[in-house]
Amino acid sequence: MSNGSNGEVQLENEYFRVTKWTIEPGGVIPMHRHDYEYVVVPMVTDRMHVANADGSEIVAELVTGQSYTRPGGGEHEVSNPYSEQDVVFVEVERLA
């Protein structure tokens, strides 16, 4: 993708959608809304920048294999401005 990010859906059924995300150095996943509760499984130890739709911003500290969850309804942009390596994580959305 021209924005320096790529999402590869690895599995999707009536209950879950699993997507592997890669954000290249300087890349961004554009503003998007999470309609479903989801779990993030970092594949790297690194940092990414999260800009929320409400104007707040955070630096998300990722640790390989240390999962975290977020509720549905969130809207944000995620970018990789800090690292010279790809930021990679798996997102598991609970569809039902």
- At 61 the pLDDT is 97
- What's the Cα-to-Cα distance from 73 to each of 22, 38, 55, 79, rounded to whole Å? 22, 10, 15, 19
Q: What is the CATH number of the domain that holds 78?
A: 2.60.120.10
Confidence (pTM): 0.94
Give pLDDT tens digits for 20-76: 999 999 999 999 999 999 999 999 999 999 999 999 999 999 999 999 999 999 999
Residue 77 has pLDDT above 80, yes or no: yes
- At 86 the pLDDT is 98
Residue 88 has pLDDT above 90, yes or no: yes
Sequence-distant (6+) residues with CB within 8 A of 60 are 47, 48, 49, 50, 78
- At 1 the pLDDT is 47
- In the block, residue with structure tokens 């959305």: 93
Query: Based on the structure, what is the number of domains in the chain?
Result: 1
Q: Domain span at residue 36?
A: 5-94
The gap from C-alpha 9 to its chain's centroid, in whole angstroms, comes to 13
- At 25 the pLDDT is 98
